[in-house]
């Protein structure tokens, strides 16, 4: 007598489980993506040190390029394509939010492959700060030098995925929770805060420009933060200026140059900047002691645009500012 046995393959059960799991995962991701699309979100690139390093690498291949460095005012206030068209030069965006421009200036000055123009934003809160803002930029520069082929491949995969999906990154999600606490009824415009393309062109989101609750919250937060800042000691400032003088000398040897750019700010925020970092003791001193050229928005009526949050240009103002800046650059000796 023969006993009957199951002829089913145990692996078939695992295959079915994996297929069901994959389908459920895909369904959840699709639903998540659909949710954010309904809220007005669009695919954008995340600003990371990997993305910054990829743009920094491309700069090596372009002679005569303009490289913008600095913090968020330059990041949001410069329209790359407009500058590129108006000046006829390749333009690269290397500003890093919340960071000092100094490590990037020195990196470019020490790079024998760089030959062009560095336009450095001078946001006093970050430029004249050798603590956290300096370390942020220094770490991104260091990463760009140590990036491996595997790192570049990983970034390439991530970049292509970001082109397809609109769901927000962790930092964006945090802001969404924060924004939800500021208004009783959600506005009719997208609450997305991050807008950056593959070339690191970014602009101020509409939610900041058009929503008083968000705008007032950001202004209050920025002013509270800037009031806690302290200016550099005379010794610290002299040391940083001496390093800049050496960077300017190295650039001169390669027929390159450094131009300092004081982007617009306004209202109480500008008043606090002038109180802590007076122009005569900071920006003007930079020009005198380094011999570098400078463009200060207060010196050019055509560069004086309103700042919705008292610190950054709106998207439309950034476009007009970039056109005017291009004209001024053409007149510099």
Q: Per the domain annotation, does 42 fall within a domain?
A: no
Rg of the chain on CA atoms, in Å: 24
- Smallest Cα–Cα separation from 186: which of 12, 24, 21, 39? 39
Beta strand pairing status for 116-121 and 257-262? Answer: parallel
Q: What pLDDT is stored for residue 163 in this prediction?
A: 82
Q: Per the domain annotation, does 88 fall within a domain?
A: yes
Q: What pLDDT is stored for residue 10 in this prediction?
A: 59
- Smallest Cα–Cα separation from 330: which of 131, 159, 117, 128? 117
Tens digit of each residue's pLDDT, the chain (333 residues): 444 444 455 566 677 777 767 677 667 777 767 777 777 788 888 899 999 999 999 998 788 999 999 999 999 999 999 999 999 999 999 999 999 999 999 999 999 999 999 999 999 999 988 788 899 999 999 999 999 989 888 888 888 888 888 877 777 888 888 877 777 777 778 888 888 999 999 999 988 888 888 889 899 989 998 888 888 888 989 999 999 999 999 999 999 999 999 999 999 999 999 999 999 999 999 999 999 999 999 999 999 999 999 999 999 999 999 999 999 999 987
For 297-302, the CB contacts below 8 A with 24+ separation are 297/262, 297/263, 297/264, 298/262, 300/324, 300/328, 302/327, 302/328
The answer to whether the Cα torsion of 201, 317, 300, 133 is positive or negative is negative
Ramachandran sector of residue 187 (left: φ over 0; alpha: ψ -120 to 50; beta: rest) = beta
Residue 229 burial by CB count (10 A; 0-12/13-18/19+): exposed, middle or buried? middle
The answer to whether the Cα torsion of 261, 224, 133, 213 is positive or negative is negative
CB 40 within 8 A of CB 192: yes
**Tokens 């009957």 belong to residue:** 4
Dihedral Cα 143, 148, 152, 153, nearest 10 deg: -150
Count of domains for the chain: 1
Q: What is the CATH number of the domain that holds 291?
A: 3.40.50.1110
CA distance 286 to 246: 13
Q: Per the domain annotation, does 38 fall within a domain?
A: no
CB 305 within 8 A of CB 270: no
Go through the chain and tell me how many residues it has: 333
Q: Per the domain annotation, does 24 fall within a domain?
A: no
Q: Per the domain annotation, does 82 fall within a domain?
A: yes
Range of the domain at 88: 49-331
Beta strand pairing status for 65-69 and 116-121? Answer: parallel
Residues 6+ apart with CB under 8 A from 320: 305
Helix (H, G, I), strand (E, B) or coil at 330: helix
Q: Per the domain annotation, does 13 fall within a domain?
A: no
Q: Per the domain annotation, does 291 fall within a domain?
A: yes
**Tokens 């008083």 belong to residue:** 212
């Amino acid at each position: 007598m023969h006993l009957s046995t199951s002829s089913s393959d145990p692996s078939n059960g695992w295959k079915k489980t994996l297929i069901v799991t994959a389908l459920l995962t895909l369904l959840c991701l699709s639903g998540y993506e659909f949710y954010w699309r309904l809220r007005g979100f669009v695919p954008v690139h995340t600003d990371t040190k990997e993305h910054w390093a990829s743009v920094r690498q491309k700069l090596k291949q372009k002679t005569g390029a303009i490289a913008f460095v600095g913090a968020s005012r330059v990041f949001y206030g410069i329209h790359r394509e407009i500058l590129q068209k108006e000046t006829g030069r390749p333009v690269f965006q290397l500003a890093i939010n919340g960071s000092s421009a100094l490590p990037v200036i020195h990196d470019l000055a020490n790079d024998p492959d760089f030959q062009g123009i560095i336009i450095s934003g001078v946001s006093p809160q970050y430029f004249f700060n050798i603590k956290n803002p300096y370390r942020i930029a220094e770490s991104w520069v260091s990463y760009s030098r140590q990036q491996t082929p595997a790192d570049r491949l990983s970034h390439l995969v991530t970049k292509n995925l970001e082109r397809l999906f609109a769901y927000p990154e962790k930092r964006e999600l945090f802001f969404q929770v924060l924004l939800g606490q500021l208004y009783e009824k959600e506005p009719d415009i997208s609450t997305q805060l991050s807008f950056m393309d593959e070339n690191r062109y970014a602009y101020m989101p509409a939610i900041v420009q058009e929503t008083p609750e968000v705008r007032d919250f950001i202004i209050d937060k920025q002013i509270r933060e800037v009031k806690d800042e302290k200016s550099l000691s005379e010794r610290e400032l002299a040391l940083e200026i001496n390093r800049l003088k050496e960077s300017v000398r190295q650039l001169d040897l390669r027929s390159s140059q450094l131009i300092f750019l004081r982007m617009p700010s306004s209202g109480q925020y500008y008043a606090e900047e002038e109180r802590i970092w007076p122009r005569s003791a900071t920006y003007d001193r930079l020009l005198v002691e380094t011999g570098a050229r400078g463009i200060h928005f207060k010196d050019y009526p055509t560069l004086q645009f309103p700042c919705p949050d008292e610190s950054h240009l709106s998207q439309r103002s950034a476009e007009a500012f970039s056109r005017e800046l291009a004209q001024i650059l053409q007149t510099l000796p």
